[in-house]
A and B are shown apart, each in its own frame.
Chain A
């Protein structure tokens, strides 16, 4: 139910996905996140997505692609996306220098601090909404995947054993 409410709150983004004229406009846009920017996005995702046992999770690479797709699908908000991305990555880089693999402890602390800051804002900012949308997308992709189930010790959805006495 809450998930449904959340999606309703994001209709402003989703509705734009359906606008053909805007899709045409989006098709003319250059790619927003390539090269170093794309790598940084993947780092960002690697912390939101559980990097189980130190390995980048499945879905981490797709995350950058989804981020790109979302931005391109809402061209009238591209500036906001770009601005958010630049702020986000800029601040991440300033506080937690990029490295391979990402410094998960430092990045986690940073994200949690921002999370708290956003929670105190009077209205959800676009950045906060965008961050939450992507966080949910990444978690759904990972925990709904075979990798997510395996990480919890299951072969998949059909493997959940019933209790002995039920």
Chain B
């Protein structure tokens, strides 16, 4: 080992939504931070949003994720598919679209993430949702899951500060959310396709409301306004989207107190004989084992990597892993319960243009909850599978020859995917544990074990039915395919594996996201979420929590509660 002190007050592991906000908050409070990120730093000017073949080549983020050396988790065996739910089977114009055979199993779990400075905000579509108030009290109000140790009111001021930092555009009135003041910017106009769907929602008695998004409608320092290219998932080349690499970290770096080290793969936490966390051990970009030390550590590696790090740090005073004295680390994994139903209209609606997720339908997510479901469900539409002709040709136009090309011509610009996301309730048996397989540095991989229960399947079924209603009301001409979490677990949002709570026997971190008994160790990612916010996107909540937790950490540091470890 080649030990070296980092000379920073705090180490932050992971430069995504939570890690960046934590780093920003800490340097604003006068502390020095070393931000460790396993992926690279991308140059937005080199994103291939308009390159020929953009839709058939993997994005720059996907190419990094696909590198074999990046493999960090494996999937448990998928459960047998329940044939009663076969209507949910994923299908498209491919040869292999068919009902599952008897005994067919759910596909292996896939974590849809982006590795690099910016983390998953690099490929997110800017959704900036506050969780509904009831989400924080699911046990008290609905008798399921667990209550958070904080309320919506505790988090509201932090939500507001993050919204202003990122530059969120939205409409303040939303009957499914607590009252709030105006956003920094008014809502973006709906795209032509979204207006069509909003009309359809109205026919059903639903409201298609402007989706609050961290996407600039007007220029800001160092960032251009959105030009509605619909390419958010491939990275915003002009900085309109509030990914943290452009909206947060540059300001933190300008303080001179933030240093970012890319290519650093954290493998375990260093702890003293007393059990106190003193640093991070990992591998630099040259593959050399390194130690970075500080008086405090913030883990923000995501809901799979963070529990992996804690569990892989077993030893000495932590025989079962750091923070795992009660076996809670890794439990309560919540995946993304999604349904995508492709929809082709009879006329071209320029589906290639607009904010990708410019509206949402929250009906059923009010205080009383949907009548058919105790957990939440949201609906929307996206064309990110169909923003080039190749996506249409491959997934939405069956056949060969003349018929095929006629369909491609008709459906390009007229096809999108209606989507729904339902809330998965936390269950202890859905979890991240340590695998026998090891990565290239010898660290055990995470093993993701997640299954759908009857409630999940009912939620997917309800989502599927509602999308069918929406398609019919919108006059959709054809529904050429669908992809669902029933058989293809592909999670963009994973959460819950180090959840917050007051009781250390039932949770991993406290109300300020410090690991129970470890004021020097904070978790600032989706791991800490207790529930999934009724299907809303989690990034803003992760960021608000990170801001709140980092400021509390800075206060502890100022008070001398964190003794410097050297």
In the bound complex, how far is the Cα of B395 from the Cα of A135, in angstroms?
A: 12
Interface residue from A5, A104, A115, A158 paired with B50 (Cβ < 8 Å): A158
- Say whether A108 contacts B481, CB under 8 Å: no
Please classify the interface of chain A as helix (H, G, I), strand (E, B), loop, or mixed, using the class held by over half of its residues: helix
Q: Say whether, besides A108-B403, A112-B400, A149-B389, A166 and B95 are in contact (CB < 8 Å).
A: no
List of A residues within 8 angstroms of B94 by Cβ = 2, 6, 132, 136
In the bound complex, how far is the Cα of B524 from the Cα of A99, in angstroms?
A: 66
- Say whether A50 contacts B95, CB under 8 Å: no
Looking at A2, A111, A163, the one whose CB has the most chain B CB atoms below 10 A away is A2
In the bound complex, how far is the Cα of B403 from the Cα of A111, in angstroms?
A: 12
- Say whether B95 contacts A143, CB under 8 Å: no
- Chain A positions within 8 Å of B, measured between CB atoms, are 1-6, 8-9, 47-48, 50-52, 104-105, 107-108, 111-112, 115, 118-119, 122-124, 128, 131-132, 135-136, 139-146, 148-149, 151-152, 156-158, 160-163, 165-166
- Say whether B409 contacts A152, CB under 8 Å: yes
- Say whether A145 contacts B52, CB under 8 Å: yes
Interface residue from A4, A108, A149, A165 paired with B189 (Cβ < 8 Å): A165
- Say whether A156 contacts B52, CB under 8 Å: yes
In the bound complex, how far is the Cα of B101 from the Cα of A122, in angstroms?
A: 7
**Closest-CB distance, B370 to chain A (whole angstroms):** 25
Extra A-B contacts (20), CB below 8 Å, given A6-B94, A144-B56, A160-B413: A1-B110, A50-B405, A107-B401, A108-B401, A108-B402, A111-B401, A112-B400, A115-B95, A115-B400, A119-B97, A123-B101, A140-B56, A143-B388, A144-B52, A144-B55, A151-B405, A157-B51, A158-B50, A161-B353, A166-B192
- Say whether B56 contacts A143, CB under 8 Å: yes
Closest to A158 in B: B50
Query: 5 nearest interchain CB pairs?
Result: A108-B401, A144-B56, A50-B405, A143-B390, A144-B53
- Say whether A104 contacts B402, CB under 8 Å: yes
Interface residue from B108, B401, B412 paired with A105 (Cβ < 8 Å): B401
- Say whether A166 contacts B228, CB under 8 Å: yes
List of A residues within 8 angstroms of B101 by Cβ = 122-123
- Say whether A161 contacts B350, CB under 8 Å: yes
In the bound complex, how far is the Cα of B491 from the Cα of A1, in angstroms?
A: 10
- Say whether A2 contacts B191, CB under 8 Å: no
- Say whether B90 contacts A152, CB under 8 Å: no
Closest to B231 in A: A157
- Chain B positions within 8 Å of A, measured between CB atoms, are 50-57, 90-92, 94-98, 101, 107-108, 110, 189-192, 227-229, 340, 350, 352-354, 388-390, 392-395, 399-405, 408-409, 412-413, 481, 483, 488, 490
Looking at B50, B92, B394, B481, the one whose CB has the most chain A CB atoms below 10 A away is B394
List of B residues within 8 angstroms of A1 by Cβ = 90, 110, 340, 483, 488, 490
Closest to B95 in A: A132
**Closest-CB distance, B492 to chain A (whole angstroms):** 10
List of A residues within 8 angstroms of B350 by Cβ = 160-163
- Say whether A152 contacts B402, CB under 8 Å: no
In the bound complex, how far is the Cα of B393 from the Cα of A145, in angstroms?
A: 13
Closest to B107 in A: A5
In the bound complex, how far is the Cα of B563 from the Cα of A94, in angstroms?
A: 84
In the bound complex, how far is the Cα of B352 from the Cα of A163, in angstroms?
A: 10
List of A residues within 8 angstroms of B395 by Cβ = 2-3
- Say whether A128 contacts B95, CB under 8 Å: yes
- Say whether A2 contacts B481, CB under 8 Å: yes
